[in-house]
Structure 1
């Protein structure tokens, strides 16, 4: 008998659907005509034991208990899953072949592996377990995956890496949360001060941005523009580029702060001739934007649909379970080359499902293959795209329809030509001063016609300050040609504070965290990893910070609360910055690539943890800015069992 263990019931049903019928449906599993059995987990069936299960004394939160480091790690069944665990236990006893069908990611690998270990599957039988990797719940994709079973033992490093991450997050979160909560209570704050490897640096980002805004002092600055005329009477605008000699009157970003300097330049060039010192004409093109990963989808959904990260993930999961899109928790934006053969069916389904994209599909180029199809950049799972399943979208709720359309449009764009444009740049010398003029014109809209707003194609023109130095058209001038300055203008401006975070920009900051790090070695590591958190956990981490009342919303803006700011100020810099996450991710990736070990990673963590706890207790952390009473959380201890336990939320409290 072959036993297939899926990660969740929807995946189990999708697998059973392609196996020979008739089926016998039992409680917790499906029996097929050829004798296969398909069962499932319900997300994580197991969870880390609470500290008091290692020692009843740990029920009380005391500094002298820390660090809490289990000698022998224990898992326990989640509440309400004992029956399903018993079903798997019974089926394992009679199974000849076991197939692991967890989601195709690090946590999905661990999820089923830990059940097999917990149920004491023998080492000999574990070596024979097969691995089934499914990204798409539609029948054709599932059948293909079933024909490509692999040895589960090949994925052991992935599972070990996930296990190390899970235990490390538990140690870090449990110990530091207890330490700072106890210290906070001693200072008169009765709330929970949760600390996590990921959640705390995210909070640190928001606190830092808020402080930059609070401390921002606006400064006036001045731009000078020359209105120029070519010999053919064509007029255009060029912006002054201050020289090094002007630095005493400029800030570090090259902005002129003295209006008298600007007035001097504007007055000196008016009515004077100029000469083109450099002329550059360049043709360029932009490829279609790649299909979505979860984070890129969450960012666009926040911008275009005003959906927060958690809502986007939840809606995408529903679309996946309805077999309308592929696996949602993907960190990849590329597709397998062989998937291109299925594109006619996918495009036909989009045309049938989404009336707003019917014309776009009709005008697509089905023989075109964009750079999205690249086997070298596809890991365990590929980009999020629509499936070939047809349905009546009006049976879905509005949010599901909107998100489907967003995903579908991104896929259709892969079958459109590149956007082609010409760019021109002129450098003009007037009275010894350098002025620059730019223009950019579309030659062929290509894929940009799909991203129209109010009936107009998406503009490729620059915006903001850059737009002021740009022109819709520039004359065909060459080096040495003469122009005339017919007028000059001074633009009075004022420096602006950095923008507050929104759902979209905070997610973008988490995925591109490297740009917030100064250390070049740490920045390099973060560029090569997934940033802060994972595709599956980012939404939950942001949501947790709101639940903990560390973050608050003001319209679209996200700000830190008084408690959130006070916590970051009380913590050592190392805890509130992403550097440790970078080091962890590098070590965890080394485990996956068989370059590092579980023991080495956990040993380093133990030393870090003890040092941070010593800093917390002996470092004189300042809790004076914490609110002295928090009625909402008074007396509530740190209990992981109070946290919702879908897979994506499992590490919320310890991350």
Structure 2
């Protein structure tokens, strides 16, 4: 009897499909019944490779062998998942399998995973496509009744392959060309670039440059307090003749740029009567659109501090594991026009949950009706907006519950009427000088009721109630002050604002509906933006500082290089956004894949040619002067593209050492104190990362210090240090030493103790004050941003165990019905081991 082979993207999805279809026998990594065999990939199983006859065995980082543009690509199995590929190949080739069903995630990357498997095996068996928007049992069963013919997703596969090949061509050739350029004077300075990563980085670097160049300007505001018969209220002076300046955004009607002028107005109005006029106008505010992935990531970052990667993982778990959200990797913020009945069922299912009050109100008021802002086929791509399913959630963790709550409240709120306000603008005129006061009264909360809002007075100026006045009433200027202020530099990007900028191809568009219209030309896709940001952090182009994203010295160096080589294709968000738009056109069948790839090949050749043409040239840039004088002659040390160079003598230090670029402040410390560190991010010739202290020798050369040069020598002199505390093992003093905090008796020739703990534990620097607290009290504060060996961030306390070893203690969230917080101590793993 012939059977169909169903291939899912992940094992969990294969298991769900088998559970829904029923009557399966489980084998190793696949399920089988009389009609189907169900198995899965484990993400990508194959990667692009240069065909053997075109691959360069030696000198691939040389200009002589660039560009690499093969006429076609081979596929190589990814080693760690090769066993799964062999299993799928065997299943596909089974004689009783006559049809293949692609059940990978319904999007570009899911299509690519399946397409590459098919190409690798080389089968001609017919293919059907399972296209799921939801993982509920009903949605899965319905999906099998509406299987697509493979020809219906052929253009999606072509776009997926084009994305994969274009990223390879630009990434490999760009990285090799920039590395070759940066390695001309010796050493190996790997310089990674990417078709989407690098323009995204350019957005951050450009913002940082504006911040560095920013010079604050003084301005003054005049704030007054007026006494009326019903109480006091506040007002702010403003220029009635002000007109907005599109160039200078700092000009605002309430700002005065001369202190004397502000003081004249203050003196003129002090204690004088004022005449009041006010106007009240009704105003409405509609609910924001439903979430796509990017808007959900922005909101979760703003409200909870979740990274884009974290939000994507949570949304994927709510879709795939809990089945309470629809497909999350979407760029659509509308629903299909034939989805009204499904929405009503979903609202009905929420009737017995914590959201029941609002769900019942929607159904009772018949608010789920055709509405082009919500139900609009023209605003849907492969997937529709993220909404809850008809399944009620159970056993969600705290983070998952937060994301579910965001989506569910937005889903309910969008069917509610607009929130209604009465906005009052009050002008108080004193000695012909106008002062403005604004108040906002919520008349009807509308959709904001879902978020706990109710009709109340909300004064825009402060938290006090706006005192009522009678028409034509005269008031007294009771108090008036000139408030000094300064203009502020542009804010650094956080993940929320960077996602917005990526969505708008570098433009920070505030209006969400306009931004949605521009998203077709954004940088990357909703599904890839989190990985783009994480890639920049991994390559040390970005650092997370609190919620902000800071470009590193390495980032500035790369963008300086690309500007100097005149390669706008790799730094222009607009150009890259156009490439993404063309990939979308391929998906829709409006552009031939061959035409797109010809443009990518031409772009690749141009990148390499520009690097070759500028060989041996100095790259100009906006470089710094160090504050510290040259340690050799006292001259001025200039930063150049490659070095920190004295202008008076031959003193020079490379900016990059063992693959790591120095920040300006690190170089300042090295020159003034003759050592800096411990620093992270160095890489050995074998590619292994390591930490080290850098010392400046007597001959002005940089030297690694790993803190282990005292093993068999005389005692270490700690006399010029202040002890951090008492050793938990022998009660002697603990000091800083090299890369560690050590007991004074654990170093030198006559060691009698072995207490040591790293200054960096799981990539997190441990501050001196935390070690002092640990030694005194047995426990540090809760420390964030440890990175596990699997690459996951976590928070923990460092604690002193009874045996004197240092371990982790993890914070546990209190159960919902108690405020008690419990902790559990890790077993068998010490922080000192983690640091080694």
Aligned in 2, Cα 1:38/1:438: closer, same or farther, shift over 3 Å?
same
The structural deviation recorded for 1:526 is 8.6
Q: How far off is 1:343 after superposition?
A: 4.2
State whether structure 2 residue 543 is matched by structure 1 residue 543.
no
Could you tell me how far apart the structure 1 residues matched to 2:359 and 2:516 are?
40
The structural deviation recorded for 1:422 is 1.9
Residue 702 (structure 2) pairs with residue 635 (structure 1): no
1:412 equivalent in alignment to 2:412: yes
SS across alignment from 1:529: helix
- With over 3 angstroms needed to count, the CA separation of the structure-2 counterparts of 1:114 and 1:570, relative to structure 1, is same
- CA contact 2:275–2:430 (8 Å) conserved in 1: yes
- How much does 1:348 deviate? 6.1
Q: 1-side partners of 2:595 and 2:363: how far apart?
A: 52
Query: Does 300-309 or 585-594 show the bigger shift?
Result: 585-594
Deviations 1:439-467 (A, max 9, x none): 32101123323334xxx76999586xxx4
Can you list the C-alpha shifts for 1:6-63, whole angstroms capped at 9, x where unaligned?
23323333333332x4223334433334x13333332222211168784242564212
8 Å contact 2:133–2:383 — kept in the other structure? yes
Q: Which moved more, 1:252-261 or 1:154-163?
A: 252-261
Q: 1:187 to 1:148 in 2, by over 3 A?
A: same
1:564 corresponds to: 555
Preserved contact between residue 3 and residue 99 of structure 1 (Cα < 8 Å): yes
**2:556 match: secondary structure:** helix
The separation in 2 between residues aligned to 1:149 and 1:566, in whole angstroms, is: 51
Distance 1:461 1:59 in 2: 68
Greater relative contact order (CA < 8 Å, ≥ 6 in sequence): 1
- In the other structure, the counterpart of 1:533 is 524
- From the superposition, tell whether residues 281 and 375 of structure 1 become closer, same or farther in structure 2 (CA, over 3 Å): farther
Q: Which runs of 5+ in 2 are unaligned?
A: 621-640, 644-653, 660-681, 689-789, 791-836
SS of the equivalent of 2:42 reads: coil
Q: Secondary structure at the match of 2:39?
A: strand
| Structure 1 residues 246 and 257: CA distance shift in structure 2, 3 A | farther
Deviations 1:513-551 (A, max 9, x none): 34259xxxxx99992415222111111111111111111
Give me the whole-angstrom Cα distance separating, in 2, the residues matched to 1:504 and 1:314: 16
After TM superposition, list the pairs within 5 Å mapping 1:19-418 onto structure 2: 19=21, 21-33=22-34, 35-49=35-49, 54-57=54-57, 60-93=60-93, 94-122=96-124, 129-187=127-185, 190-225=188-223, 237-241=235-239, 243=241, 253-254=251-252, 255-268=255-268, 271=272, 281-322=280-321, 323-343=323-343, 346-347=346-347, 357=355, 365=363, 367-369=366-368, 371-393=373-395, 396-418=396-418
Q: Cα gap change, 1:434/1:348 in structure 2, threshold over 3 Å: closer, same or farther? A: same
Q: Report the Cα offset of residue 363 of structure 1.
A: 6.0
**Paired residue secondary structure (2:287):** coil
Partner residue, 1:520: none
Moved more, 611-620 or 167-176: 611-620
Query: Does the residue aligned with 2:15 lie in a helix, a strand or coil?
Result: helix
CA contact (8 A) 1:441 1:472 kept: no
Shift of 1:251: 8.1
Given that 1:191 and 1:633 are in contact with CA atoms closer than 8 Å, whether structure 2 keeps it comes out as no
Residues 605-652 of structure 1, C-alpha deviation per residue, up to 9 Å, x if partnerless? 2222222222223333353267320362343679xxxxxxx9xxxxxx
Distance (whole Å) between structure 2 residues aligned to residue 15 and residue 296 of structure 1: 30
Mapped partners of 2:342, 2:591: distance in 1: 39
Deviation at 1:67, TM superposition (A): 0.7
* Superposition TM-score, scaled by structure 2 size: 0.65
Deviations 1:351-375 (A, max 9, x none): 76x75x5665566656322743433
- 1:587 is aligned to 582
Inter-partner Cα distance in structure 1 for 2:98 and 2:244: 80
Higher strand content, 1 or 2? 2
State whether residues 197 and 580 of structure 1, in contact with CA within 8 Å, keep that contact through their aligned partners in structure 2: no
Distance in 2, Cα, partners of 1:67 & 1:526: 36
Q: Which has the higher helix share?
A: 1
Task: Using the TM superposition, give the Cα deviation of residue 384 of structure 1 relative to its aligned residue in structure 2, in angstroms.
Answer: 2.0
Question: Measured at CA, do residues 475 and 57 of structure 1 come closer, stay the same or move farther in structure 2, by a change above 3 Å?
Answer: farther
Asked if 1 retains the 8 angstrom alpha-carbon contact of 2:423 and 2:440, the reply is yes
CA-to-partner distance for each residue in 1:264-314, whole Å, 9 max, x for gaps? 3344456366585xx754323223333322212222222222221112222
Change (3 A) 1:297 1:586: closer
Q: Shift in Å at residue 173 of structure 1? A: 0.6
Contact 1:204 1:576 in 2 (8 A): yes
What's the TM-score once normalised by structure 1's chain length? 0.82
Q: Is the 8 A contact 1:525 1:583 kept in 2?
A: no
* Structure 1: gaps spanning 5 or more residues: 518-522, 639-645, 647-655
CA drift at 1:149: 2.3
**2 CA distance for matches of 1:74 and 1:525?**
37
* CA distance 1:204–1:134, change in 2 (3 Å): same
- Partners of 1:187 and 1:472 in 2: how far apart? 70
Paired with 1:174 and 1:129, the residues of 2 have a C-alpha distance of 33
Instruction: Give the Cα–Cα distance (whole angstroms) in 2 for the partners of residues 504 and 63 of structure 1.
Output: 39
Cα distance between partner residues in 1 of 2:342 and 2:89: 39
Aligned to 1:603: 598
Tell me if 1:5 matches 2:20. Answer: no
Larger Rg: 2
2: CA distance, partners of 1:226 / 1:345: 55
Stretch deviating more after TM superposition (129-138 or 625-634): 625-634
DSSP-derived class of the 2:220 partner: strand
Asked if 2 retains the 8 angstrom alpha-carbon contact of 1:365 and 1:415, the reply is no
Q: Which deviations, in whole Å up to 9, do the C-alpha atoms of 1:103-140 show, x marking residues without a partner?
A: 22222223323322332233xx5xx5332210111111
Structure 1: how far apart are the matches of 2:244 and 2:578? 43
